[in-house]
């Protein structure tokens, strides 16, 4: 019996309007009602998913959780208590930022509670607004205001997939600290601390809850989901997943994220 479901949000649980469908909501609530844990496992800040948690009846709940920043933080929903973090150091973030500036690439820097963005395009502003993601524009090229803050991840945004891939390959050798590099939402290349990925955080949370790996389901669509899909007893790609993700999982849903793929998976594998 599956006891824990970890699930990506954008392009997996959320439809193309960044909403949770009624069918997905009902299936998740059924799973939780039978004693299961449903844990959003996202690259985003935990603060941006509060409306989703409210819809699912999980907001403010003791013993319910969010994995945030691609595994950079594990949060208990009650009072948004931070249980674990894997932050980057300031020098690493500053180096990646300087490379991005030289390459004229826009991007995001996430602290534990804030998002800072430089040079967002119109489409990027629209993408973030649709998801109710609030941010501040970076005006300090030295990033001195970030010193001493927990830096969860830095991501670069480019619409050209070849350029994203090139940046993802070129940047880590130029940085002293080892990194976890992933890609998401067909728009980002993401850099986390080497100990931060969705899979390691899934294993850490499952161990805390006394849940075995083969009692875990993971659902995702993109390369930043691969670690959790491989860490789970059952890895599931939604139909709109990338070819790389589909090749790595145990099951691919017939439906895509716009047509209740998560509900399909939960009903097929997780409900008693």
Instruction: Return the CATH number at 187.
Output: 3.30.1240.10
Identify the domain boundary among 139, 160, 193.
193
Q: At what angle do helices 22-33 and 261-269 cross, to 10 degrees?
A: 30
Q: What residues contact 70, with CB distance under 8 A and at least 6 apart? A: 42, 43, 153, 180, 182, 190, 192, 196, 197, 198, 224
Are 133 and 155 contacting, i.e. CB atoms less than 8 angstroms apart? no
In this structure, are 97 and 123 located in the same domain?
yes
Indicate if 249 and 203 belong to the same structural domain. Answer: yes
DSSP code of 204? Answer: H
For the chain of 272 residues, list the mean pLDDT of each consecutive stretch of 10. 97 97 98 98 96 98 97 97 96 97 96 96 94 92 94 96 96 96 94 96 98 98 96 98 98 98 98 93
Range of the domain at 111: 90-193
Q: Which of 193, 213, 231 is the last residue of a domain?
A: 193
Asked if 12 and 144 sit in the same domain, the reply is no
Could you tell me the CATH number of the domain that includes residue 15? Answer: 3.40.50.1000
Judgement on whether residues 227 and 142 belong to the same structural domain of the protein: no
How many structural domains does the chain have? 2
Chosen domain end from 193, 227, 248: 193
pLDDT at 140: 86
> Can you give the pTM of this predicted structure?
0.92
Q: In whole angstroms, give the CA distance from residue 46 to residue 59.
A: 11
């Amino acid at each position: 019996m599956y006891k824990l479901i970890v699930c990506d949000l954008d392009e997996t649980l959320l439809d193309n309007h960044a909403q949770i469908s009624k069918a997905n909501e009902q299936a998740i609530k059924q799973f939780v009602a039978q004693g299961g844990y449903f844990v959003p496992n996202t690259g985003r800040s935990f603060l941006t998913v509060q409306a989703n948690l409210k819809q699912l009846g999980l907001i403010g709940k003791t013993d319910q959780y969010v994995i945030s920043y691609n595994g950079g933080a594990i949060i208990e929903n009650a009072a948004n208590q931070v249980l674990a973090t894997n932050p980057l150091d300031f020098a690493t973030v500053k180096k990646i930022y300087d490379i991005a500036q030289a390459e004229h690439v826009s991007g995001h820097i996430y602290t534990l509670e804030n998002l800072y963005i430089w040079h967002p395009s119109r489409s990027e502003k629209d993408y973030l607004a649709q998801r109710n993601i609030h941010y501040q524009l970076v005006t300090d090229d030295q990033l001195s205001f970030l010193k001493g803050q927990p830096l969860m991840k830095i991501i670069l945004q480019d619409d050209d997939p070849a350029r994203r891939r090139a940046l993802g390959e070129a940047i880590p050798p130029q940085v002293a600290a080892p990194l976890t590099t992933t890609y998401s939402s067909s728009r980002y290349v993401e850099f986390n601390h080497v100990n931060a990925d969705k899979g390691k955080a899934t294993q850490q949370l499952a161990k805390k809850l006394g849940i075995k790996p083969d009692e875990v389901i993971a659902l995702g669509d993109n390369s930043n989901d691969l670690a959790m899909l491989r860490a789970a007893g059952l890895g599931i790609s939604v139909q709109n997943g990338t070819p790389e993700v589909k090749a790595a999982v145990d099951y691919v849903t017939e439906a895509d994220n716009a047509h209740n793929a998560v509900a399909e998976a939960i009903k097929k594998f997780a409900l008693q």
